[in-house]
Structure 1
Amino acid sequence: MNFGLKIPKATSGYGEWEKASYTCKLDEATACAGRAKQQLNAAPNLKGELKIEAFKMLDRLFEIVKKLEMPSKTKVEKEVMKQMHRENSKTEMGTSNLKNIIEEHSKVLGETVKEMDRLRTVIRRHEEKMDDTAQNAEKRDGGHSVGELLAEIRELKRLTQETRVRTDEAQGVIPSYAEVLSRPPAARVDKPKFSVIVGSKNVIDTSADVIEKLRGALDARRSGLKIERLRRVRDAKVVLSCASKEEMEKLSEQLKNDKNLTAEVAKNKKPLVVLKNLMAYNTDDDIRTALAEQNRHLLEDLSADETAVEVRYRRRARNQQECHAVLQVSPELWQRLTSAGRVYIDLQHVRVQDQSPLVQCTRCLAYGHGRKQCADDVDLCNYCGGPHLKSSCTQLAAAQAPKCINCTRAKLTETAHTAFGDCCPVRRKWDALARAAIAYG
């Protein structure tokens, strides 16, 4: 009986099978039995009956080893199956728990969205009540609007914030970037508005030549003349700014009869306001009429020149039926409009805000000129600064952080904002320069 065991040819040497490695005892028993039968076949003096009996014993021993090995193998397989079952159970339990957590978070998110919608409704109702209260207060108190009180509150908050900032600086506390962005914009300090533009009668003179002639013509050290600021402008001219009208007149008088220089008083520009989300069907005349007739409480005691309104331009709004109208007004009217916060135009009660005089190109995103005057021929993305429109920006689509092209050009470290963002430090610098030529009163 061979039990299916193959008997290889006899080979010399007894150590070869000992050197072999086996995956289990059954494989090793098979090899041993086969090796023993090889040796029996190789024995020439052994009787045939003895060989057959020896083969039977070997087969019986192999069968015993096989039976002994099979239960352990089956046990291992059972343990493996149990372990796999436990792992699958844990996975199913983890998936179930994760599903429950996601459902709970989705429920909380839905409730949060509903609460936000409710708060928006409450805020809108409160704004309407405040508007009504403001109108009633104006009627009772003879024109003292709630807008003025709100402006005073905002000023107090600004002063409180400035005090806190000075305290932190005195104590050596370094604010984080987020804290700096959360601070309100610094209060605008009105630059000297009394300026004289000085040029040379000699067309070949440069601005440096004009300054040299000015020093000789004015002799400020001996005359006591007080010049707040001197800056060069185009066409080889310079601008001298004074702190008061009297100083400006004194300066103009000294230069009036000079043989080498020309002098003219600079006219300050009027400030701007913007009417937000105004219905686009309103014409320029409609806006002027509505401001004069529907908002008489804001125009009381103002002269005709002080109530003059010029519609400079309009910006597109998200709603195609609306626009943002930018108006140029007198300093006195600017103060009243920005303090009120809202005005009546036809069937609307629209927001009115201060509008920066800063001009920014929508093509190259630089300052000081508009799109029509831009020398570039490629539109830059205001989100990442790349040579494409914002609508085609891959960084915006991938929800990556924005990158301001102007701060990148200025080699600043904090660039994670758009080129149109109010928090941009380059924009704030140019905005301050643009406002320096505006008379806010």
Structure 2
Amino acid sequence: MSANVLTVPGIQSCKSICMSNCSRCKKKMEAMSSAMKTMRDKRAQTPPTPGRNLERELAEAHKKLTNPKPSYAEAAAKSPTPQPNHTLIVSSKDKTHTGEHVLQIIREAIDTKKSGAKVERVRKARNQKVILKCSTKEDMEAIQNKMRSRKEIKVEAAKAANPPAHHERDINLKEVTIRVRYRKRARNQLQCHPVLELSPSVHKRFLEAGKLYIDLQKVAVYDQSPLVQCAKCLGFGHTKAVCGEKTATCSYCADKTHEWEKCPRRKQNEEPKCKNCWENGIKTEANHEAFSNKCKVRQKWDEIARSRIAYC
């Protein structure tokens, strides 16, 4: 014979309740039954509050405390913030043209160097189409007007939202100095990272902008240290072309028997070792490559190099 077990706090258990069915147990059971019947009757008479569920409210409160981030459904239910979409769709009327042909026609029509038109992003699409995205409505309209003279292409404006605020400040062109010092190689063989020498006012403006419009793309701008570090001996103040060392030093493990490309420690993902920190007695903080900005020796030489530059 099975029985459901109910635990009621505050009432002592009686061992004879199931064995002898004593009078004391009968009285306790009757009292409990009467109390539970009163509770059921009271609950039935009290109408539930519309729209409220105590268990659900407790569950939601617990969820907010344990997981404050909204779920995917909650995030999707919110109305999205409108974003600017100043986009032009350019296609060729000649079916033999490819996306590259359309792109060349766009370059000739816009001539960003003379017109000053700014294209934030460009990509090729299907059916000989090229998508041009601009940061402002004014740039989009200026580019659209310039390409209307080319009859071999078709220009359509995509649905656009409200443009963001756009502000330009004047620069004294007499004080502007922009000179290409050298070009750094990129992973893509068709690209490079030019390093420019700028006058103080232009240098400040470039860093404040963070992005520049060049040709049909928007590129990032970073501050380049004037410090020169040798790629052969890993020393400072000279280049590899005038280095007096006979053998190169690995910039990853400071070994002179191989270079970075063939470093076994690097290929096995072992901890690097900075040659300059190790030789200057900073062995406990030498767990980085020689060209790393974390290097204490490099930071010291960088400060010396920057002290000779007029940043303002």
TM-score band w.r.t. shorter chain: 0.3 to 0.5
Q: TM-score, normalised by structure 1?
A: 0.33
Point out the structure with the larger helix share. 1
Structure 1 or 2, whichever has the larger Rg, is: 1
